[in-house]
Amino acid sequence: MPELKCTRESCGKALVELGKRNHNVVVLSADLAGSTKADEFAKTFPGRFFNMGVAEANMINTAAGLAVSGKIPFATTFAIFASGRAWEQVRNTVAYSGLNVKTIATHGGISVGPDGASHQGIEDIALMRLIPGMTVLVPADAVQTPKAIFASAEYYGPVYIRLARLKIPVVTKDTDSFIIGKSQVLKEGTDVTIIACGTMVAAALSAAEVLLKDNINATVINAYSIKPLDTETIIFWARKTGVVVTAEEHLLAGGLGSAVAETLSPHRIPIEMVAIKDRFGQSGEPDELLKEYHLTDYDIVEAARRVRVRAS
């Protein structure tokens, strides 16, 4: 079993590290610094940390003002509020002018758990992805998370980084590269391409193991950069394997699966999408919810079998 680690915690440490490297980095929080782990930065750099209270819209626009003044602001809150409550602020003030505002959205997906539907951001990838010029990153584990944060600081422009709440398996290595607009082929196979992001990457890897027992050899792609999407790699492996499964802890509409379908639509390649079907979340333990909403390795295995039948 791979080691379980919390992406939020590695994010908190990465922000401190980034703050040491670059004095222009500032962090904003909307009263959830303990939950988003932005509190580590607050302790280390109190003069560069701003708690904006329960006011996400104001936080994003304050970040915009800091960004036009040469700062590199990281605004932190839960995915549902970062993408939903402050959507129009990101759209009209940040992205329209290409401002250098980074949003770190923790508590993405349904595995947020007992807090229930109001706190489970399951539409955030779609909301952010459809804004022109946005960059949307979904790191797969606690090793990739700091790399996403450092890469976003190096890049000039608006970036949305989505993290999970719970501890998730470490599936990447320290030495793996992280480049905005690229993806990572974790396993090469010939029979089906599984494209996953975030928490679902580990599930995709374990699905690939199960499939191998049936002599189905899967390629597994960690699509950590949802936008820009690594279309080159995706088209290459989709054509090579002939069928595709996507997997994400997000609504079916507008997420990674949609982005892959947009990319592959000229190529006549069957796709099955493992995602939440037009339905809100609810309270429950993360494992129970992932099962209830068909977001497990088993669901990926089933999808792979279905898509292969469709292609034959």
Half-sphere exposure of residue 139, counting CA atoms within 13 Å on the CB side? 37
Choose among 89, 69, 108, 131: nearest CA to 200: 108
CA distance 145 to 135: 15
Contact pick of 14, 16, 25, 26 for another protein (by CB under 8 A): 26
C-alpha 236, offset from chain centre: 22
Among the listed ranges 52-60, 168-176, 189-197, 251-259, the one in contact with another protein (CB under 8 A) is 52-60
Q: Which is nearer to another protein, 34 or 53 (CB)?
A: 53
Q: Which stretch binds another protein (CB under 8 A): 9-17, 45-53, 146-154, 244-252?
A: 45-53
Contacts of 47 (CB under 8 A, 6+ apart): none
- Asked if 156 interacts with another protein (CB under 8 A), we say no
Active site residue 9: no
x/- site string to another protein, residues 189 to 208, per CB under 8 A?
--------------------
For residue 285, give the nearest of 143, 57, 113 by alpha carbon.
113
Selected binder of another protein within 5, 17, 35, 58 (CB under 8 A): 58
Strands (E) in 107-255, as ranges, are 135-137, 159-162, 167-169, 184-187, 192-196, 218-222, 225-227, 244-251
Q: Which is nearer to another protein, 69 or 312 (CB)?
A: 69
- Spatial CA neighbour of 139 closest among 60, 223, 55, 215: 223
97 forms part of the interface with another protein (CB under 8 A): yes
Catalytic residue among 3, 17, 40, 56: 56
- Which residues form the interface with another protein (CB under 8 A)? 26, 47-48, 50, 52-53, 55, 57-58, 60-71, 73, 88-89, 92-93, 96-98
